[in-house]
């Protein structure tokens, strides 16, 4: 299953970009990062048999283990792609939220988009590590 991060804006060359790249390279599953122009509302069409996950402050906060189990469930049900969408400054529209397979929250705080990319990449690495029984994750 492809782990696809769809993000608004260009990250350019920055410490955040290096951090995102570092975690994406460590993930053993296929990964892809697509950057969209800030003003663009058009996202690439979601392939059939895929799941859309929107990062949204009103979403569900999952532990790393819970996220791993979601990935496992989607992978084992034959999903081709898990698309994680980071919205623009105004977030996602109501139509996008209502059609998503999961609204995922990193808590009630407001996070800069560049940090959210790094946080998401790290959590995807952590979740896939959990599924591979890799010692990276240490349960509290």
Confidence band of 137 (pLDDT split at 50, 70, 90): low
Domain over 2-131 is classified CATH 3.90.550.10 = no
Are 126 and 24 in contact by the 8 Å Cβ rule? The answer is: no
Are 46 and 54 in contact by the 8 Å Cβ rule? The answer is: no
To the question of whether residue 55 is assigned a binding role by annotation, the answer is: yes
Model pLDDT for residues 17-32, shown as the tens digit of each residue: 999 999 999 999 999 9
To the question of whether residue 91 is assigned a binding role by annotation, the answer is: no
């Amino acid at each position: 299953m492809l782990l696809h991060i769809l993000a608004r804006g260009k990250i350019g060359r920055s410490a955040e970009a290096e951090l995102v790249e570092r975690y994406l390279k460590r993930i053993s599953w296929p990964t892809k990062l697509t950057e969209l122009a800030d003003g663009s509302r058009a996202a690439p069409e979601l392939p059939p048999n895929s799941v859309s996950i929107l990062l949204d402050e009103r979403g569900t906060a999952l532990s790393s283990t819970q996220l791993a189990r979601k990935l496992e469930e989607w992978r084992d049900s034959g999903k081709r792609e898990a698309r994680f969408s980071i919205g623009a400054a105004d977030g996602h529209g109501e139509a996008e939220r209502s059609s998503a397979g999961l609204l995922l929250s990193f808590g009630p705080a407001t996070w800069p988009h560049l940090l959210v990319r790094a946080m998401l990449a790290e959590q995807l690495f952590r979740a896939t590590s959990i599924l591979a029984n890799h010692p990276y994750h240490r349960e509290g």
